[in-house]
Structure 1
């Protein structure tokens, strides 16, 4: 099954929102989806465990990276049907723990190989190209890049594309990429220009589905619901449902 890093070095582009709602869309479709929270802010963990007591670090990725537990022993079954590998603020210490150790970037890849997930794996990355994100990229065979409809996000995806190209050379393999435009408002001229620029530059790597700006997408995690349960007829559910279907049809999750 596919391992997908959801990554952009810019914050606020809907990485966590996309990981959360795509993982739950897959679970609703009967897939045994995994979601790995590689961000010490632990927002994906909060979204998938809303209303539950905070997790102890010993049950999260912290224990895995500290070599206390194998990855398969820190997987949580969630009420939304997604298998969560949770994060914790203590995960921030991993960067300093490993430093420049090149082997540290392969830890997640090895952990997943041992765990043998029986469904697609989505990794919510932190917005920095450090040890944690490199772990995700080395483990992944695909990258989904959310890009909000603004100039700074456009520049960030150009830099990220160059970084992935350099990483592909180091790994001696290719990483399949898809770009999804998020927080899109078709009434704004700049949003339309950014979308056109992305299509001109990256062609079919840009998803046809665009995620429109939607307040309900920000509301749903605090209620312990994905967008499909929170507002199933709203634009957020329509867009993430369409995106999941588009990626499934293209084989991106297989």
Structure 2
């Protein structure tokens, strides 16, 4: 199944005719080929799309907010007037705005959908996260401009494409609401030629033609019934009708001539990313130490990871593995919190430690006062989720000599395997430790959790003395 060709209408300047352009272009494209699926959606909250295309008063099964939350487009699409499909607008987009962190969310949702033909996206008059998503997914971006200020705003759209390392090729300027009665002396005879000349001078490419200002067209959205009428049915006697016909033919020819789709590229990149993430997981899995360095208990087996409470990794990423939950808690209380009483496995103090560990990173590294073999210190840090220091405990390694046998051997074995170098001294690297879930300890090996883990390591490293 072919991916749809995505046309985004975008301008940071309001009042340039974006919605009029989006809605009428959908109708004209459908008129060119009745068999061509044309789907329209809008990130603006004026509900013009719904008012213009909805048949009857039935409530939709979803809206664009659901689409951005990952719901399949074919589940919420409606068949509207003139044969145009549309996804209902939403008044709740502001509620999910902060959850949308990337500009590729819409592209991935549309790439996974069953939509075909052409998708037209109407955007808000600002470069917010929804507009960015609409731009990222586009095969063609039409930027309506009506004056010098709206042309100047185009720079931000081009800068966005550059920041995403996308080709500028999809971007096209379209002079709109051009008053054809205005004439100039000199090389530019009218507003259209002037705007086109300014655009070309700035290195912008243009669509062929323009859309004129027309009182007749403007009146199609202002009437006692509150309806919005299309140019095709109620403005055939205007120049705008001819101009929209010409514009629709340009887009239609692009759809026919360009077999490659932006969404196909996005899907291939996503598949490659999934493969890379899978390979990275396997590579990390193979690097794991099989046993707990504190007690020697085997934690990593062929069929999975068992009884692991904490994941550890050296700051140079050379070594990694897991720690037994009870072993790590015992070592912390015995050596760094200097508990004089036995802390049982169900002791409230140990439960409190486990609970706080869910929101912490722990670090073992050489103490700042370490100078030679006879005076080595070990620092035990706790950092919060943002990588900010919460506490620090320091012990002399010689104090391990007075520890009970098992406790001494555990911490000594951990240091010997991870931090102590060939000369018997603690080296420059540190050990980063993070609590893992008992249901799926290997989850931290996946990119979604391992990349934040590495990011925390970088932030923590910048703070360590």
1:29 aligns with 2:27: no
Q: Is the 8 A contact 1:28 1:81 kept in 2?
A: no
Q: Is the 8 A contact 1:140 1:175 kept in 2?
A: no
Give the unaligned 5+ runs of structure 1.
none
Q: Is the 8 A contact 1:143 1:175 kept in 2?
A: no
1:220 corresponds to: 220
1:1-254 correspondence to structure 2 within 5 Å: 1-30=4-33, 31-49=36-54, 52-53=56-57, 55=59, 59-67=62-70, 69-98=71-100, 101-102=101-102, 105-148=103-146, 150-167=147-164, 169=165, 175-188=169-182, 189=184, 191=191, 192-202=193-203, 205-221=205-221, 222-251=226-255, 254=258
Q: Deviations over 1:27-48 (max 9, x none)?
A: 1112211112122233233232
Deviation at 1:196, TM superposition (A): 2.1
Q: Deviations over 1:151-192 (max 9, x none)?
A: 21111113322222222x1xx555512111100013334724
**Cα distance between partner residues in 2 of 1:236 and 1:11:** 20
3-state SS of paired residue (2:135): helix
- Which 10-residue stretch deviates more, 74-83 or 134-143? 134-143
TM-score by structure 1 length?
A: 0.84
**Cα distance between partner residues in 1 of 2:206 and 2:168:** 17
Give the unaligned 5+ runs of structure 2.
185-189, 259-465
Q: Is the 8 A contact 2:212 2:240 kept in 1?
A: yes
Q: Is the 8 A contact 1:60 1:85 kept in 2?
A: yes
3-state SS of paired residue (1:22): helix
Deviation at 1:247, TM superposition (A): 3.0
TM-score by structure 2 length?
A: 0.48
Deviation at 1:251, TM superposition (A): 4.6
3-state SS of paired residue (2:81): coil
Distance 1:225 1:19, change over 3 A: same
Q: After TM superposition, what 4+ stretches of structure 1 lie above 4 angstroms from structure 2?
A: 172-175, 250-254
Tell me the number of residue pairs that the alignment of Structure 1 and Structure 2 aligns. Answer: 242
Distance 1:252 1:10, change over 3 A: farther
Higher relative contact order (CA 8 A, sep 6+): 1
Aligned-residue Cα RMSD (Å) equals 2.5
Q: Is the 8 A contact 1:26 1:32 kept in 2?
A: no
**Cα distance between partner residues in 2 of 1:253 and 1:78:** 28
**Cα distance between partner residues in 1 of 2:172 and 2:41:** 19
**Cα distance between partner residues in 1 of 2:257 and 2:89:** 23
Q: Is the 8 A contact 2:52 2:81 kept in 1?
A: no
3-state SS of paired residue (1:146): strand
3-state SS of paired residue (1:206): coil
Deviation at 1:194, TM superposition (A): 2.5
Q: Is the 8 A contact 2:106 2:133 kept in 1?
A: yes
Deviation at 1:119, TM superposition (A): 0.5
Q: Deviations over 1:51-87 (max 9, x none)?
A: 743845x5211223345x3222111100211110121
3-state SS of paired residue (1:242): helix
Q: Which has the higher helix share?
A: 1
**Cα distance between partner residues in 2 of 1:166 and 1:97:** 21
- Which 10-residue stretch deviates more, 172-181 or 83-92? 172-181
**Cα distance between partner residues in 2 of 1:231 and 1:182:** 16
